[in-house]
Amino acid sequence: MDFDLSDDHRLLRSTVRDFAEQEIAPVAEELDRTKAFPYELVRRLGELNLMGIPFPEEVGGAGADTLAYAIAVEELARIDSSVAITLCAHTSLGTQPIYLFGSPEQRAEWLPKLTAGELLGAFGLTEPEAGSDAGNVQTRATLDGGEWVVDGAKQFITNAGTEISGCVVITAQTGTDERGRKEISNILVPNGTPGYEQGTPYRKMGWNASDTRPLTFTDCRVPEENLVGPRGDGFKQFLRVLDIGRIGVAAMGVGLAQGALDEALKYAKERKAFGQQISKFQAIQAKLADVATEIAAARLLTYHAAFLKDQRRDFSLVAAQAKLKTGRLAVRATEEAVQIHGGYGYIEEYPVCRFYRDAKILTIGEGTDEVQQMVIARALGA
């Protein structure tokens, strides 16, 4: 086994780290405070060819692998999770279904603009009655004169309501199968389609500079050819998309934990109490050491999941393990970072305050911790 990154991976890490430190860090606090979507940063991500990292060059992507994607997401989340989730949701959830299951016409129409970051993609799975029970989709799509007529609602959807949002791929009931079970299919709905409305953005605990809002579909008509993949394959398709998405979210957890450790160590070396730097106290050293050790383990688990996917091997179990591990780690690491900062950790001017608020969602989104435990247990044969 070779644990060293390739020259290309190291160059990418350096490039994204420089961009995050020089261009994201100076504005991250203001974007969070004002809840402003980072249009300029997304444009720059597109210019750096980071909005389509794992997709082939022939469809407009960077032609890199999943490990490169995980590294980039990690470096972004180390500085700001709102920017990281914007790229992550766009790539893993918004673009991936069209790349994996789209028709040649759909791929030709949407992938070049999505992979360039000119447009953002979204994925509409979660509903008021379909969260962890993702198969309990209530949104319906009925064929009528060569068009799908969509009625229903989605919630907690990322990237669907910005000025550069291009489309959303949604799950919907399209009938029943031969055994009378609910038939679920994926359908592409472009922004601007009559009957498709994006609701008011949520007031969130964290990820304040990212776009998250409910969606409604009322007699929304799209052409029959907007079906993504075979009719009735929607359930299998979104399970595959979620597996891939967990690698990106795991990388976010690693990056956020690393950012919290960086800030905590820097503060501990600057802050003095009882005549010396607080980093010299064993109580502080123990916190730093434990978090650093957990990050090293979580990073390897996340990279292993990316490696397995790139090798075209089954990665579902490891991706779920990585997502479970890193979400919990991000919560712990940010909490310890706030604790090391003391009262200053509770002040918004310090990044660890934002990090702490941003961490909790990593144990909920892309499948809760409890869902990850179910996936893992089933893979073990329990």
**Do 282 and 258 share a domain, yes or no?**
yes
**Do 69 and 204 share a domain, yes or no?**
no
Name, in order, each residue with C-beta under 8 angstroms of 199's C-beta and a sequence gap of 6 or more.
Answer: 161, 213, 214, 215, 216
CATH number of domain containing 362:
1.20.140.10
Q: Containing domain of residue 294, as a range?
A: 236-380
**Do 243 and 352 share a domain, yes or no?**
yes
Does residue 17 fall inside a structural domain? yes
CB atoms within 10 A of CB 336: 23
Report yes or no: 209 and 80 within 8 Å, Cβ to Cβ.
yes
Report pLDDT for 143. 96
Give 268's DSSP letter.
Answer: H
pTM of the model: 0.96
Give the chain's radius of gyration (CA, Å).
21
Does residue 1 fall inside a structural domain? no
Report pLDDT for 123. 97
**Do 78 and 137 share a domain, yes or no?**
no
Report pLDDT for 231. 95
Q: In angstroms, how far apart are the furthest CA atoms of the chain?
A: 80
Q: Hey, which residues are catalytic here?
A: 366
Could you read off the pLDDT of 286-299 as tens digits, one per residue? 999 999 999 999 99
Report yes or no: 229 and 106 within 8 Å, Cβ to Cβ.
no
Amino acid at residue number 150? V
CATH number of domain containing 198:
2.40.110.10
Does residue 137 fall inside a structural domain? yes
Name, in order, each residue with C-beta under 8 angstroms of 335's C-beta and a sequence gap of 6 or more.
Answer: 356, 359
Report yes or no: 124 and 215 within 8 Å, Cβ to Cβ.
yes
Residue that terminates a domain, selected from 190, 206, 235: 235
Residue-by-residue pLDDT tens, the chain, 382 positions? 789 999 999 999 999 999 999 999 999 999 999 999 999 999 999 999 999 999 999 999 999 999 999 999 999 999 999 999 999 999 999 999 999 999 999 999 999 999 999 999 999 999 998 888 878 899 999 999 999 999 999 999 999 999 999 999 999 999 988 887 899 999 999 999 999 999 999 999 999 999 999 999 999 999 999 999 999 999 999 999 999 999 999 999 999 999 999 999 999 999 999 999 999 999 999 999 999 999 999 999 999 999 999 999 999 999 999 999 999 999 999 999 999 999 999 999 999 999 999 999 999 998 999 999 999 999 999 8
DSSP assignment of 178-195: TTSPEEEEEEEEETT-TT
- Between helix 66-77 and helix 7-19 the angle, nearest 10°, is 30
Could you read off the pLDDT of 51-70 as tens digits, one per residue? 999 999 999 999 999 999 99
CATH number of domain containing 29:
1.10.540.10
> What does the block give as tokens for 183?
């038939």
CA distance 113 to 121: 10
Looking up tokens 């070396």 gives 269
Could you read off the pLDDT of 111-133 as tens digits, one per residue? 999 999 999 999 999 999 888 88
Could you read off the pLDDT of 356-373 as tens digits, one per residue? 999 999 999 989 999 999
